[in-house]
Amino acid sequence: MSLKQKLDNLKKKYEGTKMAPLFNGFHTFLYMPNETTHGGTHVKSADDLKRTMNTVIMALVPCLIFGMFNAGYQHNAAINDSFVSGMSFFSTDFWNLDNLLIGAIKILPLVIVSYVVGLAIEFVFCIIKGHEIEEGYLVTGMLVPLIVPVDLPLWMLAVAVAFGVVIGKEVFGGTGMNILNPALTIRAFLFFAYPTWMSGDKVWIHEAVERAGTADAISGETILGSLAQSQPLNYSVSDMFFGFIPGSVGETSTFLILLGALFLIFAKIGSWRVMLSSVIGALVMGFIFNQVVDMGWITETSKFYGLMSLDFWKHLMIGGFAFGAVYMATDPVTAAQTIKGKWIYGFLIGFISIMIRVFNPAYPEGVMLAILLMNVFAPTIDHYVVQGNVKKRLKRLKAKTA
């Protein structure tokens, strides 16, 4: 007897019980549902929500693996003062077992806690409400470990995940009903509840300060933190593009994020309009700031000079902008739905991200707040786009009947 036949037999035992949604969740994770629709016209497709979520996870895996190697590399480079600027993406100094082990020891527990806590809450709600398990957290559970510092305490992550799933999603009705991106809701909770763990200068490199034995010898500060204090940029363009820099676990490698974007676009899951318009918005805002500096309106003594004077195109390769634009701004539930709305929605995300990044030195990363803000306004954008189309059609109708 095959595994599928055994599961089908077990399914009969759970039908009608409170545990049926839980069993069905595991069953349909492995196999397509047995039910078929009868009568009427309906769309035939091999995709379902689980397969869509798994495709997004596949696009995230390279960032996760790279994040493990980078966590170990940043740790060893800080301890031994051996950071190599302009290192090749295929350098054995980076891709070695020691770096991977250090990173895996720190990052895999973040992934495990994220999934265990988040899915446990999802299971509880599906049993209480009697509905099927919603697969939305399959992606959220992977996103969360990738947007937090490598040394974030596990209990903080567990508290934040519980808040994000319950308050950010379940109170709105679950997957498909939430108005805010759940992963960013979790990150926002962490930032406002435990700010020193999300914006400090000693949380981005695993235990580097303690092991070095000197409190000030090593700084784990991100590029954005340094530039916000008008400090010189000590990383090459290749370092920033390939990801050999401190930062959140999965946000450093613009190269791998770009590959993930192409994969999602090819799979017709991620909206290229949102991604491209976000990039355009960021470039426009960065270019405006560069012009302000060139005109002499901002001097080197200004606290905004460091990030304002940064070449506008470099904003795309530092911080979490690229990761947010590809994996979070494109969330089909919380993003704009209309074609024109997607362009407006994405452009404003990019534009506002760089604005917050520059004007808020205490929190030199704006993509999280920009996406959450536009999540709230996405329905409004779609409303006015639809109303605009209605008015155009009414004008054409009146012109024909006149």
CA 284 to CA 294: how far, in whole Å? 15
pLDDT digits (tens, 9 = 90+) for 161-203: 999 999 888 888 777 778 899 999 999 999 889 888 887 666 7
Look at residue 210 in the predicted model and tell me its pLDDT.
47
pLDDT digits (tens, 9 = 90+) for 73-89: 999 988 888 888 889 99
Q: What is the DSSP string of 154-167?
A: HHHHHHHHHHHHHH
Section 133-157 average pLDDT: 88
> Residue 285 above 50 pLDDT?
yes
Q: Of 78, 55, 40, which is closest to residue 244 (Cα–Cα)? A: 78
Instruction: Categorize the per-residue pLDDT at 219 as very low, low, confident or very high, splitting at 50, 70 and 90.
Output: very low
Question: Roughly what angle, to the nearest 10 degrees, separates helices 137-146 and 97-129?
Answer: 140
Out of 42-56, 298-312, 361-375, pick the least confident.
42-56
Tokens of 160: 């934040």
Would you give the distance in Å from CA 184 to the centre of its chain? 7
Look at residue 171 in the predicted model and tell me its pLDDT.
81
Q: Of 253, 204, 218, which is closest to residue 83 (Cα–Cα)? A: 218
CA 257 to CA 279: how far, in whole Å? 13
- Residue 294 CB coordination number (10 Å): 10
Share of residues in the chain with pLDDT > 70 (%): 80
Q: Are 231 and 310 in contact (CB under 8 A)?
A: no
**Mean pLDDT of the residues in the chain:** 85
CA 380 to CA 165: how far, in whole Å? 24
DSSP state for residue 15 in the 8-state scheme: T
Residue 387 buriedness (CB in 10 A; 0-12 / 13-18 / 19+):
exposed
> Residue 212 above 50 pLDDT?
no
**Where do the structural domains in the chain lie, given as residue ranges?**
51-388
Query: Dmax over Cα atoms in the chain, in whole Å?
Result: 84
Q: What is the pTM of this model?
A: 0.87
Look at residue 344 in the predicted model and tell me its pLDDT.
97
